[in-house]
Chain A
C-alpha cells in the first residue's frame, strides 16, 4: 500500500510539479521515500515467495505491479488474500 501510494504521489504530483511547475523539491523528497518503500515491498514479496506462500507467477505479478501506478492497489488484494489463506492452513508450496 505504501509502495503504491508513494509511486502514485511521485508520478501524479511530484514529477508534474518538477517539469511543469519548476519545483524539483517534491521529487527530491519523494524519490528516496518511494525507493525505500519499493525495496521493502520487494523484500516482502520475495520473502513470501521463499516461504512458499506465493507462486512464482503471483510474485512476478506483484513485482510488475510495483512499476505501474495504481496497479499495486488492484493486484495486491486478491493475491495477499490467497497467501493469507495458505498461511492460515499452514501450507507452503
Chain B
C-alpha cells in the first residue's frame, strides 16, 4: 500500500480521532467550570473523567497528530500556509488539554482548581481548523 492508497484511511482515522479529542477537551472544560462552582459535588466525577482521558482523549490526541502528520507528508503540504496555521491551532488545543488534564488531576485529589482561561480558545480554534482543513485557502 502506497501513501496515496493510505490517504482515505489516514483521513478517516484523523477525523475520528479529532472528534473524540475535541469531545474530551470540551468535557474537561465543562467539568472544571462546574468544579470551580461546586468543588465538593463535582470532585467525585473527576476520577471518571481522568479515566476517560487516559483511555480515549489522550490516545485520540496522539492519533490526531500521528495521522495528521501522515496526511501532511502524503499530501506534501508542509510548506502551505493553511497547514502551518492549522498546526499552530492544534498545538494550542493540545496545550489547553494538557493544562485541563492537570487541573482535573488536582480536582480529583481534592485540591482547588484555577480557571483555565485559554479554554475560551477551544471553540474558535475548532471552527478555524475545520475551515482551514476543508477549504485549504
Contact = CB atoms under 8 A, between A and B. Distances in A.
Given A35-B65, A92-B111, A50 B95 contact: no
Contact of A39 (B65, B70, B73, B116): B65
A43 B65 CA distance: 12
A18 to B, nearest CB: 13
Interface residues of B, number: 25
A45 B98 contact: yes
Given A43-B98, A47-B105, 18 more contacts: A32-B72, A35-B65, A36-B69, A39-B65, A39-B94, A42-B91, A43-B61, A46-B95, A46-B98, A46-B102, A47-B99, A47-B101, A47-B102, A49-B98, A50-B116, A52-B111, A92-B109, A92-B111
Given A36-B66, A42-B94, A43-B95, A50 B106 contact: yes
A61 B62 CA distance: 24
Interface of B: 61-62, 65-66, 69-70, 72-73, 78, 87, 91, 94-95, 97-103, 105-106, 109, 111, 116
Given A39-B91, A42-B91, A49 B111 contact: no
Contact of B69 (A35, A45, A49, A53): A35
A48 B94 CA distance: 14
A3 to B, nearest CB: 13
Interface residues of A, number: 21
B98 A50 contact: yes
Contacts of A35: 65, 69, 87
B94 A90 contact: no
A28 interface: yes
B112 to A, nearest CB: 9
Contacts of B116: 50
